[in-house]
Amino acid sequence: MMERPRGTRDFLPAEMARRREIERAMRRTALEFGYGEVQTPTFEQTDLF
């Protein structure tokens, strides 16, 4: 069985529903102020740090 990487966690459905509500509110507010979305890699090369 694979283990998740140290320092990460899983979010179950009930918690994800609440997190999505918060994300939607934050995204809406950011867009109202003229900010756009940026997506970066989930994990970076270790030699970057």
Query: Where in the chain are the domains?
Result: 13-48
C-alpha span between 6 and 22 (Å, rounded): 25
- What pLDDT, on a 0 to 100 scale, did the predictor assign at position 44? 67
- Global pTM reads 0.61
- Please list, residue by residue across 3-25, b when 16 or more beta carbons sit within 10 angstroms of its beta carbon and e when fewer do: eeeeeeeeeeeeeeeeeeeeeee
**Which is higher by pLDDT, 48 or 30?**
30
Q: How many angstroms separate the CA atoms of 46 and 49, rounded? A: 6
The residue among 7, 11, 9 whose CA lies nearest residue 23 is 11
Q: What is the pLDDT of residues 5-47, one digit of tens each?
A: 888 889 999 999 999 999 999 999 999 999 998 998 887 667 6
Instruction: Report the candidate in 25, 22, 27 with the shortest Cα–Cα distance to residue 39.
Output: 27
